[in-house]
Chains A and B, each alone.
Chain A
Amino acid sequence: MTVRSSPQFLALPFALLAIAVFFAVKEPAFLGPRNLTQLIVEFSIVGTLALGMFMILLTGQIDLSVGSGVGLIGGIAAVLVFQHNWPAPLAMLAAFTAALVLWLLMGTLIVKQRIPSFIITLGGLLIFKGLFWLVIQNSTIPVSRGDQDNLYSLLTTYYLPSHLGLALAAIVAIALGLLTYFARAARHTHHLSVPPAARVMAQWLVTAAALVAVAHLFNQFRGVPLSLLILSATAATVYFLTQHTPFGRYLYAIGGNEEAAVLSGIAVHRVLIGAYVLMGVTVALTGFMTTAYSGSSTTTVGDLMELDAIAACVIGGTALKGGRGTVWGVILGALIMTALLNGMTLLAVSPEAKFIARGLVLTLAVWMDVKLSR
């Protein structure tokens, strides 16, 4: 909320542009509708997880267990669908509940037993990994039986029909317009300053045009991917929570000064447990999407995703010490992270080099965070 004016806010779009130009020059297919659609699905997966991580980092805590958790939750749902023949929605509901319970448990352990989150979630990383491999018996479990599509497998393969995509873009644009209008009216009744109507109108027009243009671009290939809608809904929820509710204020307050937060009457324990439960929600969503994206649950699903999520947050200006960060930053960070990975895959960069590049990006982001925290 206060970082809008920081240099990073402008730096991020430029970095993204530079990356896009670099890969587009090397391989023009990078900007083709097919690859862009693929990139957006991958972005949705990383972005959703990063949004959960964002709320954890805001409080100054960390969660290293989410990568293994993603694999485990996706695996549970896959096993229920494929081996036990459960209907996909029910299987996903069961796995979702498991995620809530696990993260409630971890959050409670961290705050009540005062064990550092780094250690608890490092333990979680290993335990979830073990549980995951146990659940899938070290084998490959498809997310659907035969070639039948189900809700699970469709998560990353369903695209909105083109007219529906455009209609949705229009609806979102109108909703945004209404929200802006009512917020403005409320400020008026409280005698607060409002930005000039012409500027607000222009901003809205640009946003609306961008929304329709994006929908149109997706329609060039298959349509707006369902996973992007999941990410958008998650982002809208996290934005609302962090910027417009007491819960969100408390996240920033705890990360800024936990002792002062306690003495300000904030139930710090509850808020922290809440943040971990919400992390569990995004782990489940990501688990389903990423497992569906790879078509089946295998031992490598979710590997190192905790680091991608943390990197996305930190690139986007979230402080590892807590108390600073924005949803927009996280979204841009996730987009940068995904663009890098996707571009390297497209250029057939060797896995060794990809690991090193990922590590460098993470290190660079943390280094920038440290510089900025001073």
Chain B
Amino acid sequence: MPAASAHSPLDISHSSFDKPLLEARGLTKKFPGVTALRAVAFDLRPGEIHALCGENGAGKSTLIKLLAGIHPHGSYEGELRVDDHAVAFHSIRDAEAAGIAVITQEFALIDELSVAENIFLGRAPRCGPLGLRVDWLEMHRHAAVLLADFGLAIAPETPVHEIGIGQKQLVEIVRAIDKRSRVLVLDEPTAALTEHEVGVLLEHLRRLRAQGTACIYISHKLDEVFALADRITVLRDGASIVTLPTRDTTIPAIIKHMVGREISDLFPRRPVAASASKPIFSVPRPVAASASKPILSVPRPVAASASEPILSVRALTAAPTKNAPPFLRDITFELRPGEVLGFGGLMGAGRTELLMHLFGAWGHRVSGQVTLRGQPFPAPTPRDAITRGLVLVSEDRKRYGLILPQPIGFNLSLSSLARFTRTPPLKRGPQDGLYTRYLALIDAPAEHEANQHFFTSLRLKAPDQHARVGGLSGGNQQKVVLGKALMTEPTVVLLDEPTRGIDVGAKLEVYELINRLTAEGKAVILVSSELPELMGMSDRIIMLTAGRIGGEFARADFAQEKLLAAAMGRGAAQRGE
């Protein structure tokens, strides 16, 4: 019954305060072959935070692009109204002029410019006789005030490429807020933030709300939504399903609306004994190759601790470059087959750097030993790592994971091509030679079949494996990156924020996949900023703080407060850089 408010908000209140600031009526947007939005109704009142929830592909991004003028007026059916007047946005500029600022998942900052320059992009303070000179002093002063106000310890002169992904997000929010926008649209603003930074952000949004700024808030993190939003609108398959005041609903109810079914347990526990079925994530080979069948049925952690470590890291100290001071210090841990080892910590604690370093993609090793399957692993490159069965799924899938203009199949098999090359009958050279690695004929049908296998078992939502990766939703892109990593038949899988920015359904599939991997005897390192996820999926958790180990916890000792205390350097309030 509360859904009625979505259609006619004026009916429930006649006060001018509740008059919608922004209203969408019967929005329908069609793309070739897909209807992204079907008669969507949505309204935003002044001074409210209105959350949009829905799985990836539900139409949230399309709706935002309409509001932001990215899909111009005329490319859709239905009506957009601001202050009770129909509006026609032909560009982002039009939307901005109407006071709508959109902060998307893709960062709109210019890497080469400083933080201050980005905040004041296109509206730098001027001075001088004709107002021609940029007033750098004023710009930096003002930027410093804004940043301090947001609790950001960054110098305004810092180039944007030197700050982390979480800080970039905050800088974008600072920029939008300073533009005095009336409507702030935030698309997954906390996907890259640590709990502390999320807290700061939510506090600022509440303050802005008190000052009358309205906000459309999109997040997959429902606890955040419930902590913040006044009303929630659920989209599913392009249609607005329901709009509810937050106080009248619950997280399970919203999830039910989002997926159209009930999800009883968000973090499925791993099966006690692996079912004796054939491993799903191994590549089908054209010739019978029984030797490659992964070991099945590795028991739960108790027994796993008895087996030999698959990866052992001792007193590892590493620096960003050869002459820089070390950033990771004295890291020691072991990883056993069938185990999920979680790494937590604040943004900048060194989780990503540790994973990238183990994979051979970051930094210079100052000291310490890494042993992979009993063999020393001194100075790896990603290529060596993959050859030896260690693979990384990066946190930034668009930058480090995918060749966006290429099809799904191209991406899936990219790390495993040498497996599909044919050696000519007369020449039986070394399997690892220049020829098989680069110049031999790719057995296209065999490759296609393997890709198809992964396409199906990952349940990728796309017409077929020839669809371009760039056009897929976040969850499907993440599946492609995972598929690419798994096709290399790894024994150690490093997952850096594998569920960032993907919807509940896709998250569940990622968790199930982790369970299947460990059931096959593979070992997983999981990095996550979401403590419930980390606690739900890990057998052990190590918290990093400023490049060091802040504490190690067995499953029995998992408690949010303890983990957080370890992440902050045993409760000390100082933040890592």
Decide: B394 and A256 in contact? CB cutoff 8 A: no
Residue in B387, B403, B449 whose CB lies within 8 Å of A261: B403
In the complex the two chains form, is B403's CB within 8 Å of A246's CB?
no
A350 is an interface residue with CB less than 8 A from chain B: no
A to B CB contacts below 8 Å, 19 in the list: A1-B410, A2-B406, A2-B466, A186-B445, A187-B445, A190-B286, A190-B446, A192-B449, A244-B444, A246-B439, A249-B410, A252-B410, A253-B410, A260-B402, A263-B392, A264-B415, A265-B382, A265-B383, A323-B406
0/1 interface trace, chain A 238-258, chain B, CB 8 Å (1 if under): 001100111101101100110
Whether, in the assembled complex, A27 has its beta carbon less than 8 Å from a beta carbon of chain B, the answer is no
Say yes or no: A259-B445 contact (C-beta < 8 A), given A264-B415, A264-B484. Answer: no
Does A266 sit at the interface, judged by CB under 8 A? yes
Assess whether A245 is in contact with B439, with CB atoms less than 8 Å apart.
Answer: yes
Residues of A near B387 (CB, < 8 A) are: 265
Determine the distance from Cα of A190 to Cα of B285 in the docked complex, in whole angstroms: 11
B415–A190 CB distance below 8 A: no
> What is the 8 Å Cβ interface bit string for chain B, positions 392-408, against chain A (1 contact, 0 not)?
10100001111111110
Chain A: minimal CB distance from B225 (Å): 32
User: A residues within 8 A CB of B417?
Assistant: 246, 249
Chain A residues in contact with chain B, CB under 8 A?
Answer: 1-2, 183, 186-187, 189-192, 240-241, 244-247, 249-250, 252-253, 256-257, 259-267, 270-271, 274, 323-324
Q: By the criterion CB–CB under 8 Å, are A247 and B438 in contact?
A: yes
- For B385, the chain A residues whose CB sits under 8 A away are 265
- Which DSSP category, helix, strand, loop or mixed, fits chain B's interface? helix
- Known A246-B437, A262-B361, A263-B361: A253·B406 in contact at CB below 8 Å: yes
CA separation between A274 and B387, bound complex, in Å?
Answer: 21
- CB pair A252–B445 under 8 Å, yes or no, is no
Question: Given that A190-B449, A245-B438, A263-B392 are known contacts, is A256 also in contact with B404, CB under 8 Å in the complex?
Answer: yes
Q: Would you call B441 an interface residue if the criterion is a C-beta within 8 Å of the partner chain's C-beta atoms? A: yes
Q: What 4 A-B pairs are tightest by C-beta distance, nearest first?
A: A256-B403, A190-B445, A265-B386, A246-B417
Bound CA–CA A249/B399 (angstroms): 18
Contact check, B399 vs A260: say whether CB atoms are below 8 A apart. yes
The smallest beta-carbon distance between B374 and chain A, in angstroms, is 22
A241-B439, A246-B421 known; A263+B401 contact, CB < 8 A: yes
- Once the chains bind, are A324 and B484 in contact (CB under 8 Å)? no
Q: A260-B400, A323-B406 are in contact. Are A253 and B445 (CB under 8 A)?
A: no
- Name the residue on A nearest B385 (C-beta): A265
Q: Which residues of A contact B403 (CB under 8 A)?
A: 252-253, 256-257, 260-261, 323
Q: Are A324's CB and B394's CB within 8 A?
A: no
Question: In the assembly, what is the distance between CA of A186 and CA of B422, in Å?
Answer: 13
Given A2-B468, A264-B484, is A246 in contact with B445 using a C-beta cutoff of 8 Å? no
Cα–Cα distance between A323 and B407 once the two chains are bound (Å): 12
- Asked if B442 is at the interface (CB within 8 A of a chain A CB), the reply is yes
**Contact between B400 and A259, CB atoms less than 8 A apart:** yes
What chain B residues lie within 8 Å of A250 (beta carbons)? 438
Q: Which residues of B contact A253 (CB under 8 A)?
A: 403, 406, 410, 414
- With an 8 A cutoff between CB atoms, is B448 at the interface? yes
Instruction: Say yes or no for B418: interface residue by CB 8 A criterion.
Output: yes
Chain B, range 450-468, C-beta contacts under 8 Å to A: 466, 468
B438 touches A271 (CB 8 A): yes
Report Cα–Cα, A82/B26, bound state, in Å: 81
B440 on the interface (CB 8 Å rule)? yes
Once bound together, how far apart are the Cα atoms of A266 and B359, in whole Å? 13
Q: Which residue of A has the minimal Cβ distance to B383?
A: A265
* Cβ contacts under 8 Å, A264 to chain B: 382, 386, 414-415, 484
User: Is A265 within 8 A of B415, CB to CB?
Assistant: yes
What residues of chain B lie closer than 8 Å to A249, measured between beta carbons?
410, 414, 417, 442
Whether the Cβ atoms of B400 and A246 lie closer than 8 Å is no
Determine whether the beta carbon of B406 is less than 8 Å from that of A256. yes
Tell me the bound Cα distance from A247 to B442 in angstroms: 10
Other-chain contact of A190, B386, B404, B438, B448 (Cβ < 8 Å): B448
- Beta-carbon contact of A247 and B399 below 8 Å: no
Most chain A CB within 10 A, of B401, B406, B407, is at B406
B residues near A1, Cβ cutoff 8 Å? 410
B418: chain A residues at CB < 8 Å are: 246
Q: Which residue of B lies closest to A245 (CB)?
A: B439
Other A-B contacts than A250-B438, A271-B438, 19 sampled, CB-CB below 8 A, are: A1-B410, A186-B443, A190-B445, A192-B445, A192-B448, A241-B439, A244-B441, A246-B438, A252-B406, A256-B405, A256-B406, A257-B402, A257-B403, A262-B382, A263-B400, A264-B415, A323-B403, A323-B405, A323-B406
Complex interface: chain A residues within 8 A of B449 (CB): 190-192
Question: With a CB–CB cut-off of 8 A, which chain A residues contact B401?
Answer: 260, 263
Cβ A189 vs Cβ B394 within 8 A: no
Question: In the assembly, what is the distance between CA of A266 and CA of B402, in Å?
Answer: 13
A324-B405 contact, Cβ under 8 Å, with A245-B438, A245-B441: yes
Bound Cα distance A318, B417 (Å): 24
Which of B381, B387, B415, B418 has most chain A Cβ within 10 Å?
B415
Give the residues in chain A near B286, CB-CB below 8 Å.
190
CA distance A264 to B469 in the complex (A): 15
Contacting residues, chain B, for A240 (C-beta < 8 A): 441
A240 vs B421: C-alpha distance when bound (angstroms): 13
Take A246-B418, A257-B402 as given contacts and tell me if A267 and B445 are in contact as well, using a CB distance cutoff of 8 Å: no
Residues of B within 8 A of A183 (CB): 444
Q: Which chain B residues border A265 with CB–CB below 8 Å?
A: 382-383, 385-387, 415, 488
Q: How far is the CB of A163 from chain B (nearest CB, A)?
A: 33
When distances are taken between beta carbons in the complex, the residues of chain B under 8 Å from A260 are 399-403
| Most interface-central of B361, B400, B403, B415 (chain A CB within 10 A) | B403
What is the chain A residue whose CB lies nearest that of B421? A246
- Interface flags for B535-574 (1: CB within 8 Å of A; 0: not) read 0000000000000000000000000000000000000000
- The interface residues of chain B lying within 8 Å CB-to-CB of A186 are 443-445
CA distance A192 to B464 in the complex (A): 13
Could you say which residues of chain B place their CB within 8 Å of the CB of A241? 439
Contacts of B438 in A (CB 8 A): 245-247, 250, 270-271, 274
Which A-chain residue is minimally distant from B414 (CB atoms)?
Answer: A264
Complex-state Cα separation, A360 to B308, whole angstroms: 68
Contact (Cβ within 8 A) B386 A259: no
Is A245 touching B440 in the complex (CB atoms < 8 A)? yes
- CB contact list, B406-429 vs A, under 8 A: 406-407, 410, 414-415, 417-418, 421
Q: Which residues of A contact B407 (CB under 8 A)?
A: 2
Give every chain A residue within 8 A of B394 (Cβ-Cβ).
263
Residue from B382, B405, B446 having most chain A Cβ neighbours under 10 A: B405
How many Å lie between the Cα of A245 and that of B410 in the bound state?
12
